Amino acid sequence: MFNELTKLFSGKQKERRHSPRKKARFNISWVKNGNELIPGVGMEISLNGCLLATKTPPGVPDFDIIMEIGSRKIRTRLHTARSGTILRENMQWTLLGCTFSGIAADDYDALVRFCKDMHEVGNKAAAELAAMDKSDDAYRMLPMRVQQHVLDALIRLGRLDLPQPNQQPLLRMSSMGTQGGKHRLAVHSRISGGHGSDPQQFDSVIVIDESGAVKVES
């Protein structure tokens, strides 16, 4: 449906690409007012960003989407790098070329596997944690560098195992609110017991300031 415009749109500035793009149609919805989902269609994706079309544009340069990649639903924050419109069957569509500005580490791993046509790697323990609580968008939407700071802090305290390649970290997180520009997050993590013993579980409170610095409060 959008082949001609896609070729023109994605070919404008090829020299700016830093990772190969994969042409694939996938469902997306951008998030309006926190919970309303506005449908669209994804047309290309790479490790840096994606190309998508929607009949109802967000109207702002930065917004959240939920995209279906394989059997996985991934929520990510996008920044619009360029945009254009096309009239198709008397309906105007907006085409958006976007970069990822916030995506969970485990979702990014899944994106790597999708873009590189790699098999999905199972992680039963992480799946169990995710099933316990779906309110961990606080962690998933942190910038990737801040996510890594959170993981490093918990690993240093012995409250989290170092994730293996293509493995999700064994934690879940929920927001406790913001005060004075600082975000407080409740974190549940665990480490494997080893040698047949039960896993150890930990509940921590993490504070993140405006610069992205991470402090374990308790």
CATH number, domain containing residue 72: 2.40.10.220
Structural domain that includes position 149: 129-216
Number of separate domains in the chain: 2
Q: What is the pLDDT of residues 111-146, one digit of tens each?
A: 888 888 876 655 444 444 444 344 455 556 667 777
The answer to whether residue 120 sits within a structural domain is: no
Question: What integer pLDDT is reported at residue 79 of this predicted model?
Answer: 92
CA–CA gap between residue 30 and residue 105 (Å, rounded): 20
Question: What integer pLDDT is reported at residue 180 of this predicted model?
Answer: 78
Of 54, 79, 108, which residue constitutes the final position of a domain?
A: 108
Q: What is the pLDDT of residues 59-114, one digit of tens each?
A: 999 999 999 988 888 988 899 999 998 887 788 999 999 998 888 777 888 888 88
Question: What number of other Cβ atoms are within 10 A of residue 8's Cβ?
Answer: 12
In this structure, the answer to whether residues 9 and 67 fall within a common structural domain is yes
Residue 94, classed as helix, strand or coil, is strand
Q: What is the pLDDT of residues 162-190, one digit of tens each?
A: 876 656 677 777 777 777 778 888 888 88
Nearest to 99 by CA among 18, 197, 209, 166: 18
Q: What are phi and psi of 43, to 5 degrees?
A: -120, -30
Tokens for 129? 């944690």
User: Which H, E and C letters describe 107-129, residue by residue?
Assistant: HHHHHHHHHCCCCCCCCHHHHHH
Question: What integer pLDDT is reported at residue 70 of this predicted model?
Answer: 80
CA–CA gap between residue 144 and residue 147 (Å, rounded): 5
In this structure, the answer to whether residues 50 and 98 fall within a common structural domain is yes
Nearest to 172 by CA among 199, 192, 154, 145: 154
In this prediction the pTM is 0.53
In this structure, the answer to whether residues 141 and 99 fall within a common structural domain is no
Question: What integer pLDDT is reported at residue 19 of this predicted model?
Answer: 62
* DSSP per-residue letters across 58-83: -SSSEEEEEEEETTEEEEEEEEEEEE
Q: Minimum mean pLDDT among 21-30, 38-47, 115-124, 181-190: which range?
A: 115-124
The answer to whether residue 177 sits within a structural domain is: yes
